[in-house]
Chains A and B, each alone.
Chain A
Amino acid sequence: MPTAPSGSAKRRSNVTTMQYRPTSAELLTALAELLDDVLLPALPPGLQHQARVGANIARILEREVRLGPAALDRESELVRALVGTDDDAASLAQRLHAGGDEEFERGAWEALVAIAHDDVAIAKPGHDSWEGT
């Protein structure tokens, strides 16, 4: 499974030279810290949960900025290998929804686990330490 980003300009994952500082990721971290460490303690209890959720979203987006492009490349590769076209996950969903091919589903399961590892690394790191039951 390739880990390096592809050459597509839209998806390059390590463009740093032309970015303003702070970068998007740095700003999102600063935003999360503002919400969590500065504002949250000063808020009335009724608003604290929303601030905590907001901070968590900023952290998710920070990880998405860092990890998203490479994850998207891997997802495309895996889906392409399964459905044989340059199509997106939606066409894989359609094919699985149609059902009737358990062998295909086994292969899809493997690929979807790989994709889910990447998704969870952005959405909630560590969530994939659990493997069932």
Chain B
Amino acid sequence: MSLDVADGIARFLTESAGRPITLTNVAPVSAGARRQNIVLDAHDGDSVLPLVATIVPGAIELAPITAEAGVRQVAADHGVPVPRVHAVCTDPAYVGGSFLLSERVDGETVPRRVLRLVESAGIGDRVAEQLGAAMARLHAIDPVSAPHELPGIEGANPAEAALRDVDAGVAQLLSTRPVFALALRWLERRLPEPPLRPAIVHTDMRNGNLIVGSDGLRAVLDWEGAVRWGDPMRDAAWPALRMWRFRADEREIGGFASRDRFIAGYEGAGGTFDADRFEWWKVLGTLWWGVGLAMQTAAHLDGSVPSIVMAASGRRVPEIEWDLLMLVRPRIRSA
């Protein structure tokens, strides 16, 4: 199949350029549930362009791929490190879906390897600061300048919308689990007001969606979930979830470093860190992950995606319950 895809991409590049472009070193690098990434070298006469093709079957596009390319461009214009977009194709005639061609940025993306590199190069603090700075730059952008197809409603409270979504998910799939009920009530009582400065929010900026080299953070990947008018602390909290630390539990931000390094980077680049909101979104994100696991289990059980991996997700719910309990631990009141 990847050969057909390579043919399609070569044909697209050739037709766009009006001269023959050929591909070598075509290799799939990851096949997620939703999208497929393929690395390739495009030969245009004597020049060779190292690229990555991201292929999205039309039926499961979250945001149109043009919007994803657009938000990446806006982010790049404001100093967020992202791979440059080389081309966007929405005509399914070439590979059977939309695809995006990006410049290839060298470095590690696989979380455990990223952590090993960070450890051996001694750059955990730096990566956490760079991640904070990248987020602050993204959050400083006026959401009006993001592609209008991105989800998000101006004037709405993003926390309220997110809580409504997880509440519905729990009601549907986890209504018999006391920990989820307890965590929902915790969130409800502490529901934050709409953010003072709603922002473009990436929603998945964590270890696994970052390219890291020995010099630190090189690029932020996977912009498919970006939203407008979001709460910037949603982004900040996400890489702090325990599952994105990949067992380096003691380093809150992605297994890289503690929170203070991240805050230094975030505030140093003009962001305003809000600890209460950050905690709220950590609980929300953890709960949301639990709902996601339950959805995978349901997809296995109802036969829509029969898979041992999806089935196993159900037995990961106790991990989320433990994490939730630790995050919503009742405080001894001092006042």
> Which residues of A are interface residues toward B (Cβ below 8 A)?
49-50, 53-54, 56-57, 60, 88-90, 92-94, 96-97, 99, 105-106, 108-109, 112-113, 116, 119-120, 122-124, 127-133
- State the CA gap A54–B309 with chains docked (Å): 8
| Residue from the set A89, A108, A123 with the largest chain B CB neighbour count within 10 Å | A123
Asked if residues B176 and A116 are in contact (CB atoms below 8 Å), the reply is no
6 nearest A-B residue pairs (beta carbon): A96-B181, A132-B326, A90-B176, A119-B318, A97-B181, A123-B318
Asked if residues A109 and B308 are in contact (CB atoms below 8 Å), the reply is no
B34 at the A/B interface (Cβ < 8 Å)? no
Asked if residues B309 and A53 are in contact (CB atoms below 8 Å), the reply is yes
B35 at the A/B interface (Cβ < 8 Å)? no
CB distance from A2 to the nearest CB of B (A): 20
Asked if residues B322 and A127 are in contact (CB atoms below 8 Å), the reply is yes
Question: Among A88, A109, A130, which residue has its beta carbon within 8 angstroms of that of B182?
Answer: A109
- State the CA gap A61–B176 with chains docked (Å): 21
Asked if residues B325 and A116 are in contact (CB atoms below 8 Å), the reply is yes
Asked if residues B178 and A89 are in contact (CB atoms below 8 Å), the reply is yes
Asked if residues B178 and A93 are in contact (CB atoms below 8 Å), the reply is yes
CB distance from A17 to the nearest CB of B (A): 30
What number of B residues sit within 8 Å (CB to CB) of A? Answer: 33
Question: Among B177, B242, B308, B328, which residue has its beta carbon within 8 angstroms of that of A93?
Answer: B177
Please indicate the chain A residues that have their CB under 8 angstroms from the CB of B319 in the complex.
Answer: 120, 123-124, 127
CB distance from A10 to the nearest CB of B (A): 20
CB distance from B224 to the nearest CB of A (A): 22
In the complex, besides A119-B321, A123-B317, A131-B326, 10 extra interface pairs with C-beta distance below 8 angstroms are A89-B176, A93-B180, A94-B181, A96-B178, A105-B185, A112-B182, A119-B318, A124-B318, A127-B318, A130-B322
B315 at the A/B interface (Cβ < 8 Å)? yes
Asked if residues A53 and B185 are in contact (CB atoms below 8 Å), the reply is no
Please indicate the chain B residues that have their CB under 8 angstroms from the CB of A106 in the complex.
Answer: 330
Please indicate the chain B residues that have their CB under 8 angstroms from the CB of A57 in the complex.
Answer: 308, 311-312, 315
B179 at the A/B interface (Cβ < 8 Å)? yes
Please indicate the chain A residues that have their CB under 8 angstroms from the CB of B212 in the complex.
Answer: none
Q: Is the contact region of chain A dominated by helix, strand, or loop, or is it mixed?
A: helix
Contact A99:B325 (CB < 8 A) given known A93-B176, A105-B330, A133-B252: no
Please indicate the chain A residues that have their CB under 8 angstroms from the CB of B312 in the complex.
Answer: 53, 56-57
Asked if residues B309 and A49 are in contact (CB atoms below 8 Å), the reply is yes
Please indicate the chain B residues that have their CB under 8 angstroms from the CB of A96 in the complex.
Answer: 178, 181-182, 185
- State the CA gap A129–B252 with chains docked (Å): 15
- B199-257 at interface with A (beta carbon < 8 Å): 242, 249, 252
B75 at the A/B interface (Cβ < 8 Å)? no
Please indicate the chain A residues that have their CB under 8 angstroms from the CB of B181 in the complex.
Answer: 93-94, 96-97
Please indicate the chain B residues that have their CB under 8 angstroms from the CB of A99 in the complex.
Answer: 185, 188
B295 at the A/B interface (Cβ < 8 Å)? no
CB distance from B133 to the nearest CB of A (A): 22
CB distance from B322 to the nearest CB of A (A): 5
- State the CA gap A131–B329 with chains docked (Å): 9
B82 at the A/B interface (Cβ < 8 Å)? no
| Residue from the set A90, A92, A132 with the largest chain B CB neighbour count within 10 Å | A132
Asked if residues A116 and B318 are in contact (CB atoms below 8 Å), the reply is yes
Please indicate the chain A residues that have their CB under 8 angstroms from the CB of B329 in the complex.
Answer: 109, 132
Contact A97:B176 (CB < 8 A) given known A124-B319, A127-B322, A132-B327: no
Q: Which single residue of chain A is at the shortest CB-CB distance from B249?
A: A130
CB distance from A28 to the nearest CB of B (A): 14
B148 at the A/B interface (Cβ < 8 Å)? no
B272 at the A/B interface (Cβ < 8 Å)? no
CB distance from B260 to the nearest CB of A (A): 12
Please indicate the chain A residues that have their CB under 8 angstroms from the CB of B242 in the complex.
Answer: 130
CB distance from A125 to the nearest CB of B (A): 11
Asked if residues A89 and B328 are in contact (CB atoms below 8 Å), the reply is no
B190 at the A/B interface (Cβ < 8 Å)? no
